[in-house]
A and B are shown apart, each in its own frame.
Chain A
């Protein structure tokens, strides 16, 4: 405590400022990621429909990551906001209330945010389980309302949605090119805002609440206020994702409010990882690609394989789990095992892996350590090279 009276040395303050700022700095991998999305517009013209779906799904997952990854709020009913935004955009367009798509998109986001604000008070208190149930309930209620109302088209869905050109200049084309660019731009802008939010003092307070709400309150943070805020923002994001879907497909059906949609987005965020914003985006890409691939090679049973991937990832971690699931799938496919035998084979393998889980985890963690050591050694050698020359 001898340093009590003296001020901290200047360089220390500078180091501290730099290290706080470093979290928010753009990394090369991020820039590469966004350049790749831009490139996809030109390089994959025939894939614009599925790419649009991925972008929308990515935005939806980004929304869930904001509450799950940064504030620790679990939800099994996030489709409530997605669906609300989807119907809002459809109704706004169909009845000519707001014709310009970008304005309608914003309006849908605001409406979804209002719903998020109102329902946020339900998720403030309680355990993860109560939150799962409450969010699930809200989505179910909303779906039934959409099913009953006339204005939503009920079970037939909202038909006859016709979109005006974006900003009055860019009409939606039948190849989905405009829709894809429009979705990507929306995703990118909202991503930038989200990135700013999570790196701000507000974002830091969210991370502290996720880590320890008791202590967060004990240093003067209005925990509930912050949770309401981020829940409302996330609802707006989900609503905009839903609105994009309606605008790009010119149709909205009850499926936008399906439980499956809420479950899928949860899956995506878990696959991609939470709390770094890209998890939802990467998860959405992987999810759609795997789903697409499996649905092609194994159209009837693709969900079985998706389920297997999930189980393996939870049991053995994201990377090793995915590899093991891929191996099981590969064995079944190469040996042309009929589906029933595949199930039996997979279950037997699962049982064995389950029993041997501690041993397997020991091996995988050793591999990870070894890999990390090699990586640091390589990096050190690379850093030394120029000096030696």
Chain B
């Protein structure tokens, strides 16, 4: 069985900066895989390459056995690859209901229909409300997204990716910027993701990473540094050095 997602020798150069350096990564089907690393290590760049927001300077990307390196971003979504963003990328003027309804109807190939009114397809509504319900967003479903509290926007960010019904889901720091009191809502949502969905999670909070992941890759300066089970990574002296070094640096 082909792995869910694979990269071979992925390189991304921005002018002189090498943001991604020869990354060969395998994410197994159904895995809970975490991608960690210090700030500026190139984690988001990897996600952008995987999803087609950026084109790699070199290397290949394979999704469930199919080479998607040259595929446009929107087509990858159709093949079951969805993501969330580190910084919210929502539709400020739409309501959560419209937002999720849009994603659901696009997935059902109804998005080009120009003669039908939204809300006239019961399957779309039912599924949209179901997703909003799962993320505790039904109370706010008719508010403008821009007016929602940040924690709710963060939930919508994940719900929107789920509405694409992905086989492989890439989460870029889902809890970033969420105050401590609202964090558990996000963590519950991540923990409750369907088990048949393969998840690649980027996260700085080590408690979240170690409670979630069954496999961890460490990225430093754009390069894959260490990869293994949480135990192996936790005990790796090089990883400790990087993180201790960072903490010392931050302090």
B141 touches A16 (CB 8 A): yes
A12 touches B89 (CB 8 A): no
CA gap between A3 and B92 in the complex, in Å = 27
Instruction: Determine if A366 is an interface residue (Cβ-Cβ < 8 Å).
Output: no
A219 touches B129 (CB 8 A): no
Q: Given that A8-B133, A24-B117 are contacting pairs, would A218 and B126 also be in contact in the complex, using a CB cutoff of 8 Å? A: no
Instruction: Determine if A318 is an interface residue (Cβ-Cβ < 8 Å).
Output: no
Instruction: Determine if A47 is an interface residue (Cβ-Cβ < 8 Å).
Output: no
Instruction: Determine if A205 is an interface residue (Cβ-Cβ < 8 Å).
Output: yes
> Which residues from chain A contact B93 at a C-beta distance below 8 Å?
207, 211
> Which residues from chain A contact B130 at a C-beta distance below 8 Å?
7-8
* A206 to B: closest C-beta gap in Å: 10
* Contact digits for B218-248, partner A, Cβ 8 Å, 1 yes 0 no: 0000000000000000000000000000000
Question: Interface size class for chain A?
Answer: 35 or more
* B91 CB contact (under 8 Å) in A3, A196, A208: A208
> Which residues from chain A contact B89 at a C-beta distance below 8 Å?
212, 214-215, 218
* B134 CB contact (under 8 Å) in A1, A208, A222: A1
Q: Given that A205-B102, A211-B91, A215-B89 are contacting pairs, would A4 and B192 also be in contact in the complex, using a CB cutoff of 8 Å? A: yes
| Residue of B whose beta carbon sits closest to that of A200 | B114
Instruction: Determine if B90 is an interface residue (Cβ-Cβ < 8 Å).
Output: yes
For window 72-91 of B, CB contacts with A under 8 Å fall at: 72-74, 77-78, 82-83, 85, 89-91
Q: How many A-B residue pairs have CB under 8 A?
A: 153
* B110 to A: closest C-beta gap in Å: 5
* B187 to A: closest C-beta gap in Å: 10
CA gap between A207 and B145 in the complex, in Å = 13
B111 touches A221 (CB 8 A): yes
Instruction: Determine if B13 is an interface residue (Cβ-Cβ < 8 Å).
Output: no
A215 touches B129 (CB 8 A): no
A204 touches B98 (CB 8 A): yes
> Which residues from chain A contact B114 at a C-beta distance below 8 Å?
196-197, 200-203
| Residue of B whose beta carbon sits closest to that of A25 | B117
> Which residues from chain A contact B120 at a C-beta distance below 8 Å?
17, 21
A218 touches B77 (CB 8 A): yes
A219 touches B119 (CB 8 A): no
CA gap between A205 and B99 in the complex, in Å = 9
Interface size on B, residues (CB 8 A): 58
> Which residues from chain A contact B113 at a C-beta distance below 8 Å?
200-202
* Contact digits for B112-133, partner A, Cβ 8 Å, 1 yes 0 no: 1111111110100110111011
> Which residues from chain B contact A20 at a C-beta distance below 8 Å?
97-98, 101, 117-119, 125
A16 touches B119 (CB 8 A): yes
A12 touches B133 (CB 8 A): yes
Instruction: Determine if A249 is an interface residue (Cβ-Cβ < 8 Å).
Output: no
A17 touches B138 (CB 8 A): no
Q: Given that A4-B134, A201-B111, A205-B102 are contacting pairs, would A211 and B94 also be in contact in the complex, using a CB cutoff of 8 Å? A: yes
> Which residues from chain A contact B164 at a C-beta distance below 8 Å?
219-220
* B124 to A: closest C-beta gap in Å: 8
* B139 to A: closest C-beta gap in Å: 10
B118 touches A204 (CB 8 A): yes
Q: Given that A218-B82, A219-B160 are contacting pairs, would A200 and B103 also be in contact in the complex, using a CB cutoff of 8 Å? A: no
B94 touches A205 (CB 8 A): no
* B243 to A: closest C-beta gap in Å: 30
| Residue of B whose beta carbon sits closest to that of A5 | B134
CA gap between A19 and B188 in the complex, in Å = 29
> Which residues from chain B contact A202 at a C-beta distance below 8 Å?
111-114
Interface residues of B (CB under 8 A from A): 51, 53, 72-74, 77-78, 82-83, 85, 89-95, 97-99, 101-103, 105-107, 110-120, 122, 125-126, 128-130, 132-134, 136, 138, 141-142, 160-161, 163-164, 188-189, 191-192
> Can you list 12 A-B contacts with CB-CB less than 8 angstroms, sorted by A residue number?
A7-B130, A19-B141, A20-B101, A196-B115, A201-B114, A202-B114, A204-B118, A205-B106, A208-B91, A214-B89, A218-B82, A219-B77
Interface residues of A (CB under 8 A from B): 1, 3-4, 7-8, 12-13, 16-21, 23-24, 196-197, 199-205, 207-208, 211-212, 214-223, 226, 229
